[in-house]
Amino acid sequence: MATECKKRAVLVGCNYPNTINKLSGCVNDAKAMREMIVSRFGFDSENVELLTDEPESTCKPTRANIMAALKKMVVAAKEGDVLLFHFSGHGLVHRIDPHQPPNEGEAIVPCDLNPIFDVDLGQLIQLLPSGSSFTIVSDSCHSGGLIDKSKEQIGPHSTLRGIAPPVDYKTRGISLATLFQCLQTAANVIIATQDLFPTRALGNAINTGTDNMTGIGSLLTTIFGNNVSLKFLPHYERDILNLRSLTEDEGILLSGCQANELSIDMPASEKTGGKAFGAFTYSVLKVIKESELGALTNRQLVVKARNEIIKLGIGQQHPCLYCSDENADAAFLGHQPNTTTGA
């Protein structure tokens, strides 16, 4: 007898309130996605974990909390289960060497600015049981490439000329220089107000003197200890974890833009119903709401979302799809119309 599948989700919205990195639509994105997957895709609300950085939130979307929620979801997964990770917030690109491949080192940025890189997500995906699926929807800058080695089904747009977005639109990306500056400030505050870490160690990290990934890694490991990306662990520690590259059929990524592009954070307006949203999340949800009750494939959803973003007057953001051929033509989140799905 077939085991009833379960659908589980971790939804994250980071607006970074009261900081220089402040965004407007990310919390709305996460809440709207929760409403959609519960009402349309058969997710049980008890299996949907929402992490936002609203002041009243009891579980903030720090790196530690996001990774713990993802690990809990992955460890609980059984064959046939459908998993979703939706992230709305800033993205970061690690590209020190100009000759480095363009889609290597992408990361999302939690509210504590302790990045989660593609290699961290890859380690989790490797733990999935056979027959389960893991979909990532990332509405952040430079999000193409968050799943290592996934086949590009819908990639760089080669015909549409870029159209500059309205000047009041923000982008969802943090530069290495800005991240370094923010971490440096945090380290200085720790030195001045707390005795949690040796002052000399923090001073050495701060005095790295660069805003490249070496300096950022030094600050992160000093502030957060071992709770940092695998990218910052010594090589021998990464070897112990037996990390490998993912195959193209492991994981499905719907990215808000290409690896070298920015995702737009739209302010509240009449066209968005008076609420701020990310252009990609807004477009995805609009496509789903306006579609017939039949299932949309991953490929269809991304193509239609691209068209919706163009209608918003944004021509420099091209959502992408990375997955196997089979998953490209599979129903988004395994949605089967007129059937009862497990919780």
Q: Is the pLDDT assigned to residue 281 strictly greater than 60?
A: yes
How does residue 266 score in pLDDT terms, banded at 50, 70 and 90? very high
Q: Catalytic amino acids? A: 90, 141
Q: From residue 155, give the alpha-carbon distance in Å to each of 129, 261, 311.
A: 28, 12, 19
- The single residue listed with the structure tokens 């909390």 is 65
Name residues whose C-beta falls within 8 Å of residue 187's C-beta, 6 or more positions apart in sequence: 202, 205, 206, 219, 222, 223
Which run of H or of E encompasses 67? helix 63-76
Q: Is the pLDDT assigned to residue 167 strictly greater than 80?
A: no
Q: Is the pLDDT assigned to residue 340 strictly greater than 50?
A: no
Residue 121: per-residue pLDDT: 92
Residue 245: per-residue pLDDT: 61
Q: Is the pLDDT assigned to residue 196 strictly greater than 60?
A: no
Phi, psi of 137 (to 5 degrees): -115, 110
Mean pLDDT, residues 266-284 taken together: 92
Strand partners, 92: 107
Which of these, 211, 126, 147, lies nearest to 176 by C-alpha position?
A: 211
Q: Is the CATH code 2.60.40.1240 the one for domain 5-172+235-327? A: no
Task: Report pLDDT digits (tens) over 47-102.
Answer: 999 999 999 999 999 999 999 999 999 999 999 999 999 999 999 865 544 444 44
Per residue in 180-216, is it b (16+ CB within 10 Å) or e — as a string? bebbbeebeebbeeeeeeeeeebeebbebeebebebb
CA pair distance 285, 289, nearest whole angstrom: 6
Mean pLDDT, residues 191-195 taken together: 61
Question: How confident is the prediction for the chain on average, in pLDDT?
Answer: 82
Q: Is the pLDDT assigned to residue 189 strictly greater than 50?
A: yes
* 269: number of Cβ within 10 Å: 14
Please tell me which residue, 233 or 15, carries the higher pLDDT value: 15
Q: Is the pLDDT assigned to residue 104 strictly greater than 80?
A: no
Overall size of the chain counted in residues: 343
Contact by Cβ (8 Å): 163, 111: no
CA pair distance 109, 89, nearest whole angstrom: 7
Q: Is the pLDDT assigned to residue 307 strictly greater than 60?
A: yes
Q: Residue 46 gets which letter from DSSP?
A: G
Q: Residue 334 gets which letter from DSSP?
A: G
Widest Cα–Cα separation across the chain = 63
Instruction: List the chain domain ranges.
Output: 5-172+235-327, 174-226
Residue 191: per-residue pLDDT: 66
* 316: number of Cβ within 10 Å: 18
Please tell me which residue, 260 or 280, carries the higher pLDDT value: 280
Residue 195: per-residue pLDDT: 54
Tell me the two tokens of residue 253: 């990524």
Contact by Cβ (8 Å): 30, 108: no
Name residues whose C-beta falls within 8 Å of residue 167's C-beta, 6 or more positions apart in sequence: none
CA pair distance 202, 197, nearest whole angstrom: 7
What is the pairing mode between strands 277-278 and 170-171?
A: unpaired
Q: Is the pLDDT assigned to residue 250 strictly greater than 80?
A: no
Strand partners, 130: none
- Is 0.75 topped by the overall pTM? yes
Task: Report pLDDT digits (tens) over 119-145.
Answer: 899 889 988 998 899 999 999 988 777
